Amino acid sequence: MDIEIEIESGGLACDRRTIDPDGRLTVTDCVISAAQCNPYLGHEIPGYDVLGLNPDRVYDLYRDAEALKAAVPLFNGIPLLADHALVSAADPKQHLVVGSVSACRWDNGRVLGTVSVWVEDAIKGIEQNIRKDLSAGYRYEPRMTPGTSPNGERYDGRMVSIEPQHVALVNIGRVAGAAVGDSALDQRAELTRLIPHYGRLP
């Protein structure tokens, strides 16, 4: 399966933020991901060509609740990055690692967790509302059968077999509630502008 970027957005409340004596930031109960529908251009979807999808059409994909819930333990310990990148033990890209994700749990259709930020520049980006959103990168399998989510959202396909790979700090995210700030922008209006920077990883 390909690695895909989940561009997520929302806010991390200030009352859940703590700074330790060495200046490291910890924020509890962050929204890391959520079971909801989001728009994707066809070329963002793994195996879009084999599936016969139009690379330039927008498809609404539902992040399957059962698949996401099953993936919750896999979020624990994954790195928090300053930007999206495919990381591994062989290629950890340590210059991008600014923290980690831990204590993840399932809560009413969302993955909540604790985000620890260890690097001063990344902490400043959060505090200055610049790179504040959390964006999960993971593998998933698309099931392109239309349907309706439990919340009544119509979708063109579902994401299943979800395997988180990392979480990145970005300036604008996709999933409501998954950020280190208080504002969210219209997802569809921003989608085309964001794709060149936050598109599929190699």
Phi, psi of 131 (to 5 degrees): -115, 90
Backbone phi, then psi, for 164, in 5-degree steps?
-65, 145
pLDDT of residue 122: 95
pLDDT at 132: 83
- All residue ranges of the chain with pLDDT < 70 are 1-15, 174, 176-177, 179-202
Nearest to 187 by CA among 42, 12, 37, 2: 37
Indicate the pTM of the whole model.
0.80
Contact (CB, 8 A) for 65 and 72: no
Alpha helices in the chain (DSSP H): 48-51, 65-75, 120-127, 187-198
Q: Does residue 124 sit in helix, strand or coil?
A: helix
Contacts of 202 by beta carbon, 8 Å cutoff, 6+ apart: 86
**Each residue's pLDDT tens digit, 3-56:** 444 444 444 445 588 999 999 999 999 999 999 998 989 998 999 999 999 999
> What pLDDT is recorded for position 175?
72
pLDDT at 167: 94
pLDDT at 15: 59
Q: Which residues contact 55 (CB under 8 A, 6 or more apart)?
A: 41, 42, 43, 48, 49
Write down the pLDDT at residue 165.
94
